[in-house]
Amino acid sequence: MAGATLLGSLAGCASSAQADQSTGGTTSSGGSYKDGTYTKNGSYASPGGQETISVQLTLKSNVVTAVTVKTVTADPTATAYEARFISGIQGVVVGKKLDALNVSRVAGSSLTSQGFNAAVEAIKADAKA
């Protein structure tokens, strides 16, 4: 039974090679943010355990002008999904208002977005004007 659960969990991450991406909605009350570069870690649960990514956002006039995501801790399967996420995230968030970010899936990776969104919330708190 555990194998079926693991397979079901991994199937939630698998997708076609095309980039499935979603931004929209807000998870905070919104507001004004200080220009600058901010880095925070975000964690998420995967079938292999707890994973952590590092997210760096550069903000100018409340808009994301640059993004960098790096693996901090991950099992080999999660690392592969994170690599896919990292390869597609720039096209999803650069040019978007910080308050509009709510990523659900990038390049077939759906769990990594949970860690990304957690890091974005922490960045919002730090960048609040």
- The one-digit pLDDT tens for each residue of the chain (129 residues) are 444 333 333 334 433 333 333 333 333 445 799 999 999 999 999 999 999 999 999 999 999 999 999 999 889 999 999 999 999 999 999 999 999 999 999 998 999 999 999 999 999 999 997
How far apart, in whole angstroms, are the C-alpha atoms of residue 126 and residue 58? 12
Looking at residue 46, its pLDDT comes to: 93
Task: Name the region of 33 (left: φ>0; alpha: ψ -120 to 50; beta: rest).
Answer: beta
Looking at residue 59, its pLDDT comes to: 98
Looking at residue 30, its pLDDT comes to: 57
Domain boundaries, the chain: 30-127
- Is CATH 3.30.450 correct for 30-127? no
How far apart, in whole angstroms, are the C-alpha atoms of residue 51 and residue 43? 6
User: Between the CA atoms of 108, 113, 116 and 118, what dihedral angle is there, to the nearest 10 degrees?
Assistant: -170
- Which sign, positive or negative, has the C-alpha torsion 44, 46, 52, 54? negative
Cα 92 versus chain centre, distance: 10
Strand order across the 49-60 sheet: 36-46, 49-60, 63-73
Looking at residue 129, its pLDDT comes to: 77
Looking at residue 14, its pLDDT comes to: 35
